[in-house]
Amino acid sequence: MPEKDAIERAREDAREGKSASTQAGEFVREEMDHIREGKHGARSTAQAIAIGLSEARRAGVKLPPPKKGKASARARAQAKRDLKTGQKRGKQRTSKRRSRAITQALRREGKAAASHSALSSHARMVARRRGPKARHESAMKAVKTKGPEVLREEARKAAETRGKHSQ
């Protein structure tokens, strides 16, 4: 069950006209926090993200299910169901037994899926899948949002790394 502040942040994003994926990001962030706090675990970073996206859809974020070939048929069908559930007015509550079973199963999983290194390696893996052009465009977009101090610091760090690799 998503917390009220995550729902409120997502609604604020919607009011500001931000994309559905940005709105869903609030739920994913909350999920990572839950794992770090020790509320439960996740088998992988992808599972942790999937839980957050599922909660976003069920909370009413109009996030479309993944396209064919991007996820398994089972995952796409579940995403469709979650989206449908989120668009309904009177939401049915999950039975206590099922809710407890899911929570207990997730508690048995590890907490490393939400670590900074796991998230970083997952992001790199996904970026590699998208290709060099998409990576370049993403980097250029990131540069636009950074201030001059950050850019200067990153340039210094890059020069230092190049120096290490040339030795």
pLDDT in tens, 100-141: 999 999 999 999 999 999 999 999 999 999 999 999 998 898
Per-residue CA distances from 166 to 10, 78, 152, 156 (Å): 46, 50, 21, 15
Mean pLDDT score, 32-56: 95
Residue 45 has pLDDT above 90, yes or no: yes
Q: Which two tokens stand for residue 150?
A: 């950050």
Contacts of 47 (CB under 8 A, 6+ apart): 113
Q: Which two tokens stand for residue 47?
A: 């599972």
Residue 7 has pLDDT above 80, yes or no: yes
pTM beyond 0.85: the answer is no
Q: 102-111: buried (b, 16+ CB within 10 Å) or exposed (e) per residue?
A: eeeebeebeb
Convert the pLDDT of each residue in 70-103 to its tens digit: 899 999 999 999 999 988 876 677 899 999 999 9
- Higher-confidence residue of 165 and 37: namely 37
In the chain, pLDDT over 70 holds for what percent of residues?
Answer: 98
Distance CA 143, CA 129 (A): 21
Residue 23 has pLDDT above 80, yes or no: yes
